[in-house]
């Protein structure tokens, strides 16, 4: 882990990432248990000495201090927001999934136009619903100068799903701001300490916490981080009625996952970088199978290293020569499950055509886990060699 990199953004903080992950919610302790309890209750007894009607509340902060009903807030969702606000350096609002978080941002900012390039197909599907129902216009990023105006949203995913390649956030922020539009950066593929999108002009940062923050392929969640407290309050208020707060059990699991998050993502990043280097160095040995390798570590533009200050993202993609090879490669792998999603400690490959209707039909996405990089490299090399020999 590049210590200097971690310090660039966190210099203003009292503690480092790993400490904040373990102690950022100490202030929310309600009991003496060291491990936070799993709270399954949806409703909480009113305090006999604090019977204030809703209409007399100045704001909604009370629901975090004294939980009322779990759709509003519950003890572990409050703990998560304390940690995420600290590690993501803003005001964090937690959701039941990454898509619920994106939808909440659309409801809040209510843009007339969305500028969007390659991105997770589900995000695009939400944009399509907004277009169908409310006539919101969608444009490619190239059209920002032509059509963007005040209050519009520019949505950028970097590194991008499923390629794992990076775009220049700073330049896009400049272009969006010149037209009065706001830039959302989906930084799911490189959460801190890999990338701090605030440093490059993001106005809103979004994460699917299902991926690296969750890290064990067993929960769904999402986070939005904003710079203004007032926006986070409005998002929390809206969330009550959208019904998209993170669930009770999931919040406990996510909290537990966060304690080890930095160790996991750092190892996943290192593993992915080693595997991509191996594939790139040996590509000619697999020339009848392996056509292209996509990953930020193979990009030469200057902004890539500046953005990925703590390491490259743990997802990369390859294209093979035929669809048949894409079907067969996963069958030949021992340590990569053939499944969708990413970010877990277990490595996955996905013939992306299985879930993404818009993608190259010969693309395999690789999500690198926490196994030994040597074992993963041997596994991939042997599967590619089998396909090479058969071609």
Which residues contact ligand PLP (rule: CB under 6 A)?
A: 97-99, 120, 122-123, 157, 161, 186, 188-189, 208, 210, 220, 222
Q: Output 5 or 94, the one with its CB closest to ligand PLP.
A: 94
Which residue do the tokens 């272009």 mark? 175
Nearest by Cα to 240 from 375, 362, 57: 57
Q: What is the DSSP letter of 205?
A: E
Q: Is residue 223 classed as helix, strand or coil in its secondary structure?
A: strand
Shortest distance, position 302 Cβ to ligand PLP, whole Å: 24
How many Cα neighbours within 13 Å face the side chain of 133? 8
| Of 339 and 377, CB closest to ligand PLP | 339
Nearer to ligand PLP, 103 or 336 (CB): 103
**Min separation Cβ 178 and ligand PLP, Å:** 26
Residue 43 CB, nearest approach to ligand PLP (Å)? 26
Q: Which residue has the tokens 């200097």?
A: 4
| Residues whose CB is less than 8 angstroms from the CB of residue 28 and which lie 6 or more positions away in sequence, other chains included | 75, 78, 79, 82
Residue number with the smallest Cβ distance to ligand PLP: 98
By the 8 A CB rule, do 187 and 206 touch? yes
d(CA 104, CA 191): 20
**CB proximity list for 377: less than 8 A, separation 6 or greater:** 274, 275, 278
Q: Which is nearer to ligand PLP, 97 or 245 (CB)?
A: 97
Pairing of strands 222-226, 204-208: antiparallel
Provide the minimum distance between the beta carbon of 276 and ligand PLP in the complex, in angstroms, as a whole number. Answer: 19
Q: Is 312:296 a contact under the CB 8 Å cutoff?
A: yes
Whole-number minimum distance, CB 102 to ligand PLP, in Å? 6
Label residue 293 exposed, middle or buried (CB < 10 Å: 0-12, 13-18, 19+). buried
For the chain, give the number of residues: 391
Nearer to ligand PLP, 120 or 261 (CB): 120
Smallest separation, CB 218 to ligand PLP (Å)? 13
DSSP 50: -
CB of 128 to ligand PLP, least distance (A): 15
Sheet-wide strand order for 315-320: 290-294, 315-320, 363-367, 348-351, 337-338
């Amino acid at each position: 882990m590049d210590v200097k990199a971690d310090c660039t953004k966190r210099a203003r903080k009292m503690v480092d990432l790993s400490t904040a992950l373990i102690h950022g919610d100490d202030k929310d302790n309600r009991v003496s248990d060291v491990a936070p309890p799993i709270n399954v209750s949806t409703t909480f007894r009113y305090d006999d000495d604090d019977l204030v009607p809703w209409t007399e509340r100045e704001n909604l902060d009370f629901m975090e201090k004294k939980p009322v009903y779990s759709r509003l807030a519950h003890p572990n969702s409050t703990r998560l927001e304390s940690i995420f606000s600290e590690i993501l350096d803003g005001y964090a609002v937690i959701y039941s999934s990454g898509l619920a978080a994106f939808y909440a941002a659309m409801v809040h900012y209510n843009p007339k136009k969305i500028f969007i390039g390659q991105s997770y197909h589900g995000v695009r599907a939400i944009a399509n619903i907004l277009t169908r129902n409310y006539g919101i216009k969608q444009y490619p990023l190239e059209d920002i100068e032509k059509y963007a105006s005040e209050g519009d949203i520019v949505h950028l995913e970097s590194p991008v799903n499923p390629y794992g390649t990076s775009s220049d956030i700073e330049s896009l922020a400049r272009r969006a701001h010149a037209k009065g539009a706001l830039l959302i950066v989906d930084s799911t593929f490189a959460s801190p300490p890999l990338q701090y999108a605030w440093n490059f002009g993001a106005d809103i940062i979004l994460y699917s916490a299902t991926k690296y923050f969750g890290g064990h392929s067993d929960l769904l969640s999402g986070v939005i981080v904003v710079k203004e407290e007032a926006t986070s309050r409005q998002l929390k208020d809206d969330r009550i009625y959208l019904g998209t707060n993170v669930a009770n059990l999931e919040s406990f699991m996510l909290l537990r996952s966060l304690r080890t998050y930095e160790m996991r993502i750092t190892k996943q990043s290192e593993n992915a970088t080693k595997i991509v280097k191996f594939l790139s160095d040996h590509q000619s040995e697999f020339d009848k199978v392996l056509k292209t390798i996509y990953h930020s570590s193979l990009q030469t533009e200057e902004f890539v290293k500046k953005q990925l200050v703590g390491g490259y993202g743990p997802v990369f993609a390859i294209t093979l020569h035929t669809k048949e090879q894409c079907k067969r490669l996963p069958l030949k792998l021992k340590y990569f499950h053939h499944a969708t999603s990413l970010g877990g400690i277990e490595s996955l490959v996905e013939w992306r055509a299985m879930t993404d209707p818009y993608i190259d039909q010969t693309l395999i996405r690789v999500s690198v886990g926490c196994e030994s990089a040597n074992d993963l490299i041997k596994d991939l090399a042997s599967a590619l060699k089998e396909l090479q020999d058969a071609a």
